[in-house]
Structure 1
Amino acid sequence: MKTRELLCATALYGVLLVPLAAQAQVPVTPSETDAKAGTDTKQTDDADLNADGTSKSKDGDIVVTGSRIRRNRFDLADPITVISNTERTEAGFNTSTSLLQSTGVTNGTAQINNAYGGYVTNGGPGANTLSLRGLGTSRSLVLLNGRRLAPSGSRGTVGSVDLNSLPTAMVDRVEVLNAGASSVYGSDAIAGVVNVITRNNINGIELSGQVNVPEVGAGVEKRLAAVFGHTGDRFSINGSAEYYRRDQLSFSDRDFTQCQTDYRRSAAGGEPGSGDFIDPRTGQSKCYGIAAGTGASGVTINTLGLPNRAGTTVALAPGVPANYSGVCNRFRPNTAVTTGTLPGYECVGGGTLSTDIRDTFAPSLLSQALISPTENYNGFLNGTYELGALGDAEVYAELVASRRKSDQIGNRQLSIDYNQGSLLLPANLRGGTFLAYSATGTTTAQPGVPVAARAFTNFGTYNNYQTVDFVKFGGGIRGKLPGDWRYDFYASKAWSDSSYTSDLVLTNRLQQSLDVVASGSGFACRNPVGNCVAAPALSNNVLAGVFPQNWIDYISAPVTGTTKFRETVYNASFDGPLFTLPAGPVQAVVGFERREYSINDTPSEDSQNNNVYNFSSSTVTRGSDSVNEVFGELEVPVLRDMVIHDLTLNASGRYTDYASYGSQETYKVGGSLSPTRWLTFRGSYGTSFRAPQLFEQFLGATTGFGAASTDICNNLSATTSPVRLANCQADGIPLGFQATNSVTIQQRGGAESGLSAETSTNWGAGAVLKPKFSFGDFSFAADYFDIKVDNGISQLSSATIQSQCYDSPQFRQNAVCNFLQRSTTAPYQLTVTTGYVNISTSILRGIDYVARFSAHVGPGDLRLGAQVTQFLKRYTQTLPTDPIIDQVGLLFNPRFTGVFDVNYGVGNFNVRYGLEWTQHTDSTDYLADFGYDNTYILKTPDYWLHSLSFNYRAPKFEIGVGARNLFNKNPPFISSGAYNRVGNAPLYSGYDFVGRQFFVNVTTKF
């Protein structure tokens, strides 16, 4: 759709369809606020709010997100979105977390939520974070009442605000600035700023609750809260306490996750699924296969790996071609087999034979968490006291406290290596060589001894669980100075303490249990340590994942680590008028801020010692940093009601000095021009920066593993590209090399390599149209944004490092090759070391459109509106030699997203109908160059979510009922192989995994 056509369409939506009533990109009039409330606007918690929802100072001025200047208007050079707590409940969002991760705030970009429990994410599992414009959590600044909210979470990558720490019950509104603001707020404000503003001047007690019940009956959300407050002649105190719980939604609860398939076509244009591997046992597409790589999440189970045997000498499983004359090295138990060289087993793959027919689906896979559970406790308290001295000073304080208890159920495979000669093997299997040897750290009892057999078994489910305690206490004093100037001194301290536990298999215990001697009619550990339990002998039960409980209890244990994050802030600011021009006073702000941070993540000893089987090991992440900053801001009213209606200019600047990397200057200039009262042009240009986060500097060495197939020299042949072939052979690798060991991937922080700050430029321009009509109020805004990030902090992937080295004619003279180590003898073990470096460049451009309309219709008030974001360009170039690939329109990166709603209120009643839109995406052409032909389904259709609610609001009582995903829309399906999936659906927060859910919220006031 062309821009001109989109402008017309968006305006039409504004007049005929819907508003996100929350959108206040243009000033909200008192009449609109009255209609939105549905009752008298003199509510106790609105006493210090302006008609547009912004904060008033004692003398009636307001402070708007994105500026520290106090003003009597809402107009800014940058667009601001305001979403009230009322709109959250009407839309059916149970918490501020779900609101902030909704399309209306994120513009449809992917967010880390409770669907990512099995992935490595910043803040650890269970943390919910915010990424504005899709530029990442570390480039999006979250404030609470205009002050930084400190990061919290678990593991060594804590660096972002966990939205679970927000006090939902006390939230009055959220202000979103989608523009860079480092000159105003310091580091991280590259993509924008979210300012969560709490209620104040509460008198009495308010009890509220909300429950969201999915139609499937699982994954229920419940929240109970109490809000209280009292205001006296010279003091005020406000607070809240709330409890939130979200139950687990499992794979077994939703249809689209119960049978994950490859979802491929047999040929271009064929039916979806017609190209899948057909399970010989069912005649249907195979559920949870694993041969396809990324996006297929089955496990190899009930399978025995043995040295090659001729297919003519063993029984062949259904699905294997009759008279197969190649070799087999994967076998499945079959008691009906009594002939051949391997009675009791049938061939299910190996050699030139596909291994797709082996068993890969375990019923326990469906017990995994699709949406992981959480239990949150939140408290909030703030207060003020007027001293009557020191310039009519007011002492203020604020306390935020939360506890998150979260867990994630996953499924894992247990591969058991039996050495040559192991008594746990039948005599006829003890002498072969399945793997040349088993390196230290694998399951074998004797590292360096050849492996005769490997049992691929299903361990079943395991649990990760976290407890995260977060506390932030801050306060200060503010008052007046001569000449209408004001001062504000503030200090705060934040603590995040967490413990994280995983139920893991310990490598040393597994090794000890497999090194056995005969003992009576059974076996005993050769070198017992503690209560060593001998591993079970190979049997059909073992291959089926049925193990003696005492052995499982011995080899597995809960492994616990702890994380501590601290942040201290000192701030002083002064603001007031410098002098007065004909158009008004020139306002200024100057100030100083110091911030101190530290992180101490201590994994368990087993994790530090690489003693956790098939799980990433890690060492201590410990470090600190500090920053001193001076800042200033100036606002100049150039013209007001002189030839034109208004011309106002604004400028801000900040000097920053970090202990870690040095100093940085940022600035921003902008302004608004209103030729008439109904037309405003606005724009700004500024620079921003992001200091390296502590984990990016000091991340302890972490060891993980990539599949053997990711070794770039795997399947080396004469047809391999000449440069790669020569380089692999220079490392001693022969033709026909088949990698059998995982690629070891070691990560580390970037402090040693001189990691420095990212820098960015951010500019935008737009217009606001507010014509006057006798039949209602209409407004339309369009704002262009352009963000460029230079010197971006990135982590080279294992694949990139291997490619840059082995595909380089300079090979070992290439500096990238220093990150690779390979053993010179079989099995040519590959180790890749990667860390954080300043290498990437990111570009983002787009347009935001907002339309609103309100009018008195019939007995009530009608409000319509729309918010649409159009992305024009998005790419990240990791290395200067990388091709530029525009991501807009590809999977996970829709070109257009939008939110729309219509509200109609009569007296105390209001009905709301909402829509959330994600445009179609298509990665077919993009991935064709990477070997994904037209048999892959790599595109999604337009995706619409509908919601409906009915609300009643009286001065002392409120109730709302409604439904989200009204038509029970499932997420779209894509093929496995290129992207992470949940079942058959893309792992993307813009799609609803829960299905239709009903909600009820009730509030009563005393």
Structure 2
Amino acid sequence: MRSRRTLGPVRPRRNPLHLALAAALMLPMGLASAQSTPPTDDEEEPAPTAEQTQAAASAPAITLDRVSVTGSRIARDTFNSVSPVQVISREESTLAGFSSTTGVLQSNSVTGGSSQINNAYGGFVVNGGPGVNTLSLRGLGATRTLILLNGRRVSPAGSRGAVGSADLNVLPNMMIERIEVLKDGASSIYGSDAVAGVVNVITRTRVDDTTVEFQRNFTQDGGGDETRAGIMTGAVGDRWHASGSLEMNQRAELTLGQRGWASDCPRPLLGRNADGSYGADDYIDPRTGRPKCWTIDDSGVTINTIGTGNIAGVPGLGSVGTGASGNIFNRWRPNPGVTTGLPGYEGVDYFGRDSFDPAMLRESLISPTKNTTGFLQAGFDLNALGDAELYFEGLGHRRESQQIGYLQHSLDYPVGSPLLGSLSTLPAWLAAPADGSTNGRNVSVRAFIGWGPYKSWQEVDFFRATGGLRGNLGTEWSYDTYYSHARSDSAYMVENRLTDRIARSIDVVSDGRGGFVCRDPSGGCVPTPALSAAVVGGDLPQAYRDYIMQDTRGQTIYTESTFNFGVNGPLFDLPAGTVSTAMGVEHRRQEIDDTPDINSINNNLFGFTASQPTRGKDSVSEAYIEFEVPLLSDLPFAQEFTFNASARYTDYDSYGDDSTWKLGVLYTPVDWLSIRASRGTSFRAPALFEQFLGATSGFLSSATDPCNEYGNRNPTSARYQNCASEGLPTNFQQTSSVTSITQGGAETGLAAETSVAVTAGIVLQPEFPEWFGDLSFAADYYDIKVDNGVARLSGQNVMNLCYDSQPADFNSDAGQCSLVTRGVNNSMSVTSGYVNISESLVRGWDFTARFVREIGPGSFRTTARLSNYLTQAGRTFPTDPLRNTTGTVAQPQYAGDVDFSYSVQKWLVRYGLEWVGATNDYDYYETYFDTDYRPLYLLETGNYFLSNLSVQYRGDDWSATVGARNLADKEPPMVSAGWGNRIGNAPLYSGYDYLGRTFFFNLSKSF
């Protein structure tokens, strides 16, 4: 909302520099645009804008504009707010070397050290699809963090069925004036999703010149470079204004092979050296005398090997088999010198298997992306309808991103296949794969082949248009009404092998010339190559590759429409000031339509899950109201005592109605001390994908069947009795993969998450002698508990819940057991999805301190921030223990940053230091599992520091900034292989720098 009037009691004037310090520390700037009209003599001197905050260190006097508060719909111009707000100016982000709004928002200074989905996650399955960048405050997830642009929601964007959060890529950069981060629950103010906090990106309101800008970030070791170029222009008339920007940001790919720490051999799974180090001596390949180097991408692949049933054969160098003679193997490596046992192959054990391919180093570490963003805004004063302004805002964005991954190809040769040559007499080893890739025939030999790199890419087009009218109701009230429509249209493509083509290719007959042709040659079928050492080594005919590997394409469309009408103004006067209110109504409608490739729908993607279309819609109608009541003012030990209350009623089509509320107080006993506290409820409506996700099928290991060898259990146990009631023998062993189907939770009555948030803080701004300077300090405690959280149950969860239920309640047609089906020959399938069962708890402290002092001819300023997570805990089921994971690897307890700047005349120098605290998993496992992993794994990281330096010169109409990030070229810390998600040996964690030393320069010129 935009405020045109000053609300709240009149307070004594304060030093502008002191106000600027307070504003930079915790200024509650917010929803409304700054008003350019200067205050009259009887009005309070208002708080500064973010740009003026930046200039305060060097300017003896500044012009102050009027602002309102993020986290409240009631405009006020004091520098304190009930909830903690962090303000980041665009100037600060330029000095820090960020080339995009995404980089600023995902930095530790905003996120407090919680991990973010960024461009290093291209090879992982994430909501929103590859290439998406999201923001998670307090570590509670992106769907629990609300993103606003000029006080209005940024709707979700991305690819695939699980689109549910705003993609930071769509945000403009040049037009941004400041970013305000509310670190508190605020659903009573903003509605769903504002559980962990709210980020409000605010653009410049009036631009009357043209500015061009160019920025280049380039890494010392190559790869991952960024280039941004843009233009911003505008004009202002007597009754109108219009401005806009167009910019392009392109990031080059960074591969694993371009960083030594990412391409080194992973540290061994087990073992600690005598000197206390880990991984100094990897397993040595006896054939080469060099480290074996397990798979670099931690995917557990085996290549250059075939698998068979247990056969007596010749052991490979350094390998040990099973059996009394030690020469029984089921994995083999080509060796033309072997003539006995399995001719042409030597037996290998786990350590002898090949799992590293140099082609793995071509995988994307940072995926390449090209973002093109256009932004346009305009306003026209009608001189009617209460001095109304008709306004418009448009945002258009296109993202082109791609990722390179590595693929293992499992080639199954059926029993008796002529393609096996001399091995065609081998017996069956595996049952016929359920996907039909061998045409129902059992498998005698499986070749584990390194296919090499494969590509996926996305094209996301996002558009949002907003039109509104705002003005005055009488002399003291104002109104704002708008309609906004957003659409994300994404095309996503992946190179995939098609199962039906593999099945047709493996079914061959002789061509009469010593070769083979497909039995069914239709569609240009290319026969599978005969088994050979070359084929096992990855030398596959290009014609065969081109035949079975095809580009598959899907499309995701997500739309959101919003209508909002709100008013705010004074109600009545109290001795301490004016009681103010804001109220309004809102209606939103969202719809998702994800259509995967037809081959995905038909379960025809070899080695990948199948997906059905995700289609659904939801709408919500809401009404909200907020009051701000000044109880005390300008009294001894009560300079200000203000009470704030807000409530919202919500009615969703999907699950019904709900309500949220929030109460807060701000107490300022003396000018230099403020105390604030709030308590409120928030909620998150289930995302459309959580409700309507199309059935996605895959396969679980046969070992996941709960009834395997159930006879070894206590006969009185629930699982024993339930498995027995199915007529299964006590020594039952599942021989087939378990089909797993995941789908949305709308049919099971998925409800909204609820949460309770408590915050309490103190702000100190003591008055010191002028020679000392100005010091400000803020400390804020937060406690957020999410109940009835939406979680996706795994197929294993569902099966265990079914077979561990009380025998009296065990019913294959009811409860969780209705989702488990046993078919012919006890084949098994399980359906799982999203349910309301999980719980999350986050508690901690945020500290901020700022000091400004005139030194010599210039001004010195330093700002320090520290986040301390006391608790980060969660559980899926109510009976699960609530385990605190804070301080474990990739979940640091402490994260902070400090920057120092000195400005003199037109020059400014900045040094920044970022810190991620030490982490370890040892304490966690010892506390909750009574297990000491220190002798076995490296599961700890030390304190991690990054240094940044920049210099800026500002001319009359131009500026230049140069600098470097990660001055010391600090590499991310290393942990043992097998731990969680990793890149090489480094934890997958956004708080560590994967680029290395990076230089940047920014040039800006106005006309």
Whether TM-score is above 0.5 comes out as yes
Q: Give a deviation string over 1:763-789, Cα, whole Å, max 9, x none.
A: 111110100112211011111111111
Q: CA deviation at 1:318?
A: 3.1
Q: Relative to structure 2, which stretch is displaced further, 812-821 or 190-199?
A: 812-821
**Distance in 2 of aligned mates of 1:284 and 1:709:** 35
Alpha-carbon displacement from aligned partner over 1:908-935 (angstroms, at most 9, x marks no partner): 1111111111111111243353977331
Query: Structure 1, residues 600-654: CA drift from partner, whole Å, max 9, x if none?
Result: 0000110000000001110010011101111111111122112321111111111
**Partner Cα separation in structure 2 for residue 329 and residue 299 of structure 1:** 16
* Residue 406 (str. 1) matches residue 412 (str. 2): no
Q: Which has the higher contact order (CA 8 A, sep 6+)?
A: 1
1:764 equivalenced with 2:769 (yes/no)? no
CA distance 1:841–1:166, shift in 2 (3 Å) = same
Contact 2:859 2:904 in 1 (8 A): yes
CA contact (8 A) 2:697 2:740 kept: yes
Aligned to 1:667: 661
Out of 421, 432, 441, the residue aligned to residue 435 of structure 2 is: 441
CA RMSD of aligned residues (A): 2.7
CA separation in 1, counterparts of 2:802 and 2:280? 39
CA–CA separation in structure 2 for the residues paired with 1:558 and 1:947: 43
Q: Which residue pairs with 1:703 in the alignment?
A: 697
Q: Which amino acid aligns with 2:473?
A: L
Q: Is the Cα contact below 8 Å between 1:765 and 1:785 reproduced in 2? A: yes
Q: Cα offset for 1:741?
A: 5.1
Asked if residue 608 in structure 1 is aligned to residue 619 in structure 2, the reply is no
Q: Is the counterpart of residue 514 in structure 1 residue 498 in structure 2?
A: no
Distance 1:783 1:504, change over 3 A: same
CA contact (8 A) 1:668 1:685 kept: yes
3-state SS in 2 of match to 1:403: strand
Partner in structure 1 of residue 898 of structure 2: 900
Paired residue for 1:747? 742
Structure 2 distance, partners of 1:102, 1:77, is: 25
- Gaps (5+ residues) in structure 1? 1-18, 350-354
- How much does 1:175 deviate? 0.1
> Relative to 1, partners in 2 of residues 1:438 and 1:635: Cα closer, same or farther, differing over 3 Å?
same
1:286 Cα deviation from its structure 2 partner: 2.9
Q: How many residues align structurally?
A: 958
Alignment of 1:147-546 (within 5 A): 147-264=152-269, 266-267=271-272, 270-273=276-279, 276-289=282-295, 296-310=298-312, 313-320=313-320, 324-337=325-338, 339-349=339-349, 355-435=350-430, 437-444=431-438, 446-447=439-440, 449-521=441-513, 522-546=515-539
Within 5 Å, which residues of 2 pair with 1:651-666? 651-666=645-660
Question: In the TM superposition, what whole-angstrom CA distance separates every residue of 1:102-125 from its partner, at most 9, and x where no partner exists?
Answer: 101111001100111111111111
Q: Is the 8 A contact 2:28 2:81 kept in 1?
A: no
- CA distance in structure 2 between the partners assigned to 1:155 and 1:871 by the alignment: 33
Q: CA deviation at 1:546?
A: 1.1
Residue 36, structure 1, aligned to residue 30, structure 2: no
3-state SS, counterpart of residue 152 of structure 1? coil
Give the secondary-structure state (helix, strand or coil) at the position aligned to 1:752. Answer: helix
Post-superposition offset of 1:39:
9.9
- Check conservation: 1:701, 1:746, Cα contact below 8 A: yes
d(CA) in 2 for partners of 1:995 and 1:713?
Answer: 50
Contact 1:262 1:296 in 2 (8 A): no
Q: For 1:910 and 1:442, how far apart are their aligned partners in 2?
A: 67
Deviation at 1:870, TM superposition (A): 0.9
Residue among 565, 575, 582 paired with 2:575: 582
- 3-state secondary structure, aligned to 1:219: coil
Question: Offset of 1:87 from its aligned partner?
Answer: 0.7
Q: TM-score normalized by structure 2?
A: 0.91
Contact 2:863 2:900 in 1 (8 A): yes
| SS of 1:301 mapped into structure 2 | coil
Following superposition, the deviation at residue 378 of structure 1 comes to 0.2
1:580-617 CA deviation, whole Å, 9 max, x = no partner? 22222211111110001100000011000000000111
Change (3 A) 1:911 1:705: farther
**Take 2:713 and 2:304, find their aligned partners in 1: how far apart are those partners?**
35
CA deviations 1:410-445 (Å, max 9, x no partner) are: 01111011111211111433441111x21331532x
1:77 to 82, 94, 110: 82
Q: Distance in 2 between matches of 1:342 and 1:332?
A: 10
Alignment-mate amino acid for residue 240 of structure 1:
S
* Alignment counterpart, residue 845 of structure 1, candidates 805, 822, 843: 843
1:509 counterpart SS class: helix
CA displacement at 1:21 relative to structure 2: 10
> Structure 1 residues 416-425 or 131-140, which shifts more?
416-425
C-alpha displacement of 1:299: 2.0
Asked whether the 8 Å contact 2:27–2:79 carries over to 1, the reply is: no
Are 1:137 and 1:160, in contact at CA under 8 Å, matched by a contact in 2? yes
Whether the aligned pair in 2 keeps the contact of 1:21 and 1:863 (CA below 8 Å) is no
2:639 to 623, 640, 645: 645
Query: Which range moves more in the overlay, 913-922 or 317-326?
Result: 317-326
**Could you tell me whether the CA contact under 8 Å between 2:51 and 2:177 is conserved in 1?**
no
Distance 1:891 1:329, change over 3 A: same
Task: Identify the residue that residue 816 of structure 1 maps to in structure 2.
Answer: 816
1:843-886 per-residue CA deviation (whole Å, 9 max, x = no partner) reads 11111111110000122111012111111112112111101101
Counterpart of 1:952 in structure 2 is 953
Task: Give the SS at the match of 1:969.
Answer: coil
The aligned counterpart of 1:966 is 967
What is the rounded CA distance, in whole Å, between the counterparts of 1:42 and 1:592 in structure 2? 44
Q: How does 1:905-920 map to 2 (within 5 A)?
A: 905-920=903-918
Check conservation: 2:319, 2:351, Cα contact below 8 A.
Answer: no
Match of 1:794 among 791, 794, 797: 791
Deviation at 1:575, TM superposition (A): 1.0
Instruction: Give the 3 Å change call, closer, same or farther, for CA 420–912 of structure 1 in structure 2.
Output: same
Q: CA, structure 1 residues 713+359, in 2 after alignment: closer, same or farther (shift >3 Å)?
A: farther
What letter is aligned with 1:664? Answer: D
1:689 aligns with 2:686: no
Say if 1:930 and 1:316 are closer, same or farther in 2 by CA, change over 3 A: farther
2:37: which partner in 1? none
Match of 2:542 among 515, 532, 549: 549
Offset at 1:30?
Answer: 6.0
Residues 1:1000 and 2:1001 are matched in the alignment: yes
The 1:913–1:38 alpha-carbon spacing in structure 2 relative to 1, beyond 3 Å, is: same
Q: Is the 8 A contact 2:23 2:48 kept in 1?
A: no
Secondary structure at the counterpart of residue 257 of structure 1: helix
Q: How far, CA to CA, are the matches of 2:933 and 2:329 in structure 1?
A: 29
Distance 1:500 1:347, change over 3 A: same
The separation in 2 between residues aligned to 1:423 and 1:882, in whole angstroms, is: 54
Distance in 2 of aligned mates of 1:933 and 1:275:
19
Amino acid at match of 1:257: A
| Other-structure match for 2:627 | 634
Deviation at 1:732, TM superposition (A): 7.2
Percent identical residues: 47
CA contact (8 A) 1:170 1:227 kept: yes
Per-residue CA distance 1:545-567 (angstroms, 9 max, x = gap) = 11111111111110000011111
Query: Offset at 1:23?
Result: 4.3
Shift of 1:263: 3.7
User: Which runs of no fewer than 5 residues in structure 2 stay unpaired?
Assistant: 1-20, 30-45
Change (3 A) 1:946 1:822: farther
Residue 336 of structure 1: how far off its partner (Å): 2.3
Matches within 5 A, 1:828-867: 829-867=827-865
CA, structure 1 residues 394+541, in 2 after alignment: closer, same or farther (shift >3 Å)?
same
Shift of 1:969: 1.0
Instruction: Return the alpha-carbon distance in structure 1 between the equivalents of residues 997 and 24 of structure 2.
Output: 23
SS at match of 2:119: coil
**Change in CA separation of 1:143 and 1:963 when aligned onto 2, cut-off 3 Å:** same
Contact 1:21 1:901 in 2 (8 A): no
Superposition deviation, residue 276 in structure 1:
4.9
